[in-house]
Amino acid sequence: MQAPRVLVVAATHGNERNGAWLVESWRQEPSSLNSSGLELLLEIGNPAAHRANRRYIDRDLNRSFVQDLLADAACDELEILRARELLAQFGPQGSRPAQAVIDLHSTTSSMGNCLVVYGRRPTDLALAAAIQAQLGLPIYLHEGDAAQRGFLVESWPCGLVIEVGPVPQGVIEPRLCLQSQLALEAALAALAAAKRGCLAQPPALVVHRHRASLDLPRDGGGWPLACLHPQRQGRDWQPMGPGDPLYRTAAGESIAYEPPAGLEDQQVWPLFINEAAYGEKRIALSLTSRERWAVDPSWAESLAALLTEQN
Amino acid sequence: MQAPRVLVVAATHGNERNGAWLVESWRQEPSSLNSSGLELLLEIGNPAAHRANRRYIDRDLNRSFVQDLLADAACDELEILRARELLAQFGPQGSRPAQAVIDLHSTTSSMGNCLVVYGRRPTDLALAAAIQAQLGLPIYLHEGDAAQRGFLVESWPCGLVIEVGPVPQGVIEPRLCLQSQLALEAALAALAAAKRGCLAQPPALVVHRHRASLDLPRDGGGWPLACLHPQRQGRDWQPMGPGDPLYRTAAGESIAYEPPAGLEDQQVWPLFINEAAYGEKRIALSLTSRERWAVDPSWAESLAALLTEQN
């Protein structure tokens, strides 16, 4: 029985250098990563952007896995070409298909070591639940956000993002590398256990479910009229309620949080507070609801079936 | 008697956004900055790079104030053009000359709120001593570094850098903005006092004098074989001696600090540890000696003379 093949991607954003440094190091010295016996495909997501130390060249690679763009022969942006290439090699119909993908990211926000899951695929939830049971990592469940789509991991039947921060763009920081490796090894161990049919699942999963994103207050020309409030900066995963200080003007005036429609009178848990790369997306922070879900036994069965069927 | 004119520059590096946001905010609401009665010229150093959210477009503006480049009519790199423009407007022979310049920078290193002084001009030392006496800010004295020259402030008869960190590139962070403003207002108050002939000087000045810079260990292709050691990361301004852990490989092996020639058996104080923008300069950290200098009364006299002579 062949071992499951797992694609491990880093530098999907070229200026997130910790994961890229790890991937190159593991290529040179495979024994320094515990693969739990899986076959690993170690890839630099966006080599051109990594060489240029930029997030991307033409467009965000991690918003490029969109069917209509990938199918549009007239589209020759560098990241679309790279997305097609990754799929042709390692995608479900590729020449050397991977059953699962782990995408290593970093952020300038104080997100700590965490997981990002896109939507509610049973295979992803089984994997995330196993990692959370093992390491306690919090989970950002991204869904219902029409403005942000085309994430890399969505193109594989199972996949999630390991996100670590805070770290500046362009910097390799040892603590962050250790965190990424720890989470990746837990993910690989969980996949190996699922393949053996003995994946340990906790009774419940805690997720922070995406609800909305907020921008800084801006003038008509787009200039920010305030920055994050010092009492909010760095407080990812900590609850916020109506009236809490959220922004501050250069003159020192506080601006309080006003819930957007649908979130009135609720606490929210802000994430990706002041992420450098989201300025251009006009996102100063995202708001989530903290939810506790019972783990469904069918999730682990789906993951075991996926890892078995193609071997 | 006309008030001294002071040039305040931000975003000399386009992705250092805190200072730029402050400068734009002060332009819109001048009362939010205490100018101590001085005439301020508020400038974005590199507007094109700031719009692009990049450190620079063609070359580092803060290494472009080099006489032979500025005088070379064939050189039309964007930052050389901008350096000429700043000098033509606000330089000592410019149309609206400033007597002093304060250049607002930020770093991804844990430098805190500090001053960078280039060389040993009496006017700069008087200003730095007054700010240190007021706020206790540490001073990085940059000299004797042939690889790094052409700094903006050197083209004015008095000038220094206010450096704050850590902050990622591309991020506006409230605490850093407060630090920059606090240091700038102290500098302006000191210049105003010097103009009145009543600059308070401490008996001594503590400087951290540049001695050498170190790169990461690299293989023949330039790939980093190790990153900073977690026990060194973030410990700017803290002493280091021979044998202290400095780097760590991806496999977890520690590499100890070995003093370069001329610094054997000495403690050094590392600065700009793991600054993102210095990767391309192959600088992982700079080594300094901590020195206590008696303040010379002639320094304050030089500064007072400078601020008086041109009015």
What CATH number is associated with residue B274? 2.20.25.160
Residues A57 and A10 in one domain: yes
Q: What is the pLDDT of residue A310?
A: 52
Note which residues in 243-262 of chain B have CB less than 8 A from chain A: 248-252
Residues B233 and B129 in one domain: no
Q: What is the pLDDT of residue A112?
A: 98
CA distances from A89 to A1, A22, A173 (A): 22, 22, 31
CB contact under 8 A, A169 and B168: yes
Note which residues in 66-85 of chain B have CB less than 8 A from chain A: none
Residues of B whose CB is below 8 A from A230: 174-175, 178
Q: What is the pLDDT of residue B1?
A: 58
A172 close to B (CB below 8 A)? yes
B282 alpha carbon, distance to own chain's centre: 18
Distance to chain B for A239, nearest Cα, Å:
20
B233 close to A (CB below 8 A)? yes
Q: What is the pLDDT of residue A1?
A: 58
Query: Which residue from A267, A144, A166, A160 is spatially nearest to A211, judged by alpha carbons?
Result: A144
| CB-closest option in B26, B31, B274 to A171 | B274
How far is Cα B143 from Cα B212, in angstroms, rounded to an integer? 10
Residues B58 and B167 in one domain: yes
Q: How many CB pairs under 8 A join A and B?
A: 103
How far is Cα A17 from Cα B110, in angstroms, rounded to an integer? 19
Residue range B265-278: average pLDDT?
A: 96
Q: What is the pLDDT of residue B311?
A: 45
CB contact under 8 A, B32 and A251: yes
Residues B14 and B157 in one domain: yes
Residues B84 and B115 in one domain: yes
* Position B155 pLDDT exceeds 70: yes
Residue type, B303: L
Residues B23 and B91 in one domain: yes
Its ipTM equals 0.88
Count structural domains, chain A: 2
Residues of A whose CB is below 8 A from B277: 170
Beta-bridge mates of residue B286: B213, B271
Residue range B124-149: average pLDDT?
A: 95
Query: Taken in order A101, A107, A109, A110, is the CA torsion positive or negative?
Result: positive
- Percentage above 90 pLDDT, chain A: 93
Q: What is the pLDDT of residue A180?
A: 98
Residues of B whose CB is below 8 A from A166: 168
Task: List strand residue ranges (DSSP E) for B152-294, in order.
Answer: 159-165, 204-214, 227-228, 245-248, 254-256, 269-271, 285-294
Q: Which long-range contacts (CB under 8 A, 24 or more apart) does B90-94 make?
A: B90/B7, B90/B41, B90/B43, B91/B155, B91/B156, B92/B155, B92/B156, B92/B157
Residues B254 and B304 in one domain: no
Neighbours of A295 (CB within 10 A): 18
- What domain range includes position A41? 5-203+295-309
Residues of A whose CB is below 8 A from B22: 250
How far is Cα A40 from Cα A305, in angstroms, rounded to an integer? 19
- Tell me the per-residue pLDDT of B212-251, one tens digit each, with 9 for 90 and over: 999 999 999 889 999 999 999 999 999 999 999 999 998 8
Q: Classify A207 as helix, strand or coil.
A: strand
Residues A39 and A168 in one domain: yes
Residue type, A209: R
Q: Is the peptide bond before B202 cis (omega within 30 degrees of 0)?
A: no
A184 close to B (CB below 8 A)? no
CA distances from B285 to A109, B239, B276 (A): 24, 13, 11
CB contact under 8 A, A227 and B175: no
CB contact under 8 A, A280 and B53: yes
Q: What is the pLDDT of residue B89?
A: 98
Pairing of strands A159-165, A112-118: antiparallel
Query: Which residue from B44, B187, B40 is spatially nearest to B128, judged by alpha carbons?
Result: B187
* Position B81 pLDDT exceeds 70: yes
Q: What is the pLDDT of residue B146?
A: 85
Residues B46 and B150 in one domain: yes
CB contact under 8 A, A24 and B223: yes
* Position B37 pLDDT exceeds 50: yes
Residues A31 and A50 in one domain: yes
Residues A76 and A188 in one domain: yes
| CB-closest option in B29, B233, B274 to A251 | B29
Is the pTM higher than 0.90? Answer: yes
Vertex B5: Cα angle to B1 and B9 (nearest 5):
170
CATH number of A76's domain = 3.40.630.10
Q: What is the pLDDT of residue A311?
A: 45
Q: What is the pLDDT of residue B167?
A: 97
Residues B17 and B162 in one domain: yes
Residue range B167-175: average pLDDT?
A: 95
Residues of chain A with pLDDT under 50: 311
Q: What is the pLDDT of residue B228?
A: 96
Distance to chain B for A2, nearest Cα, Å:
28
Q: What is the pLDDT of residue B310?
A: 52
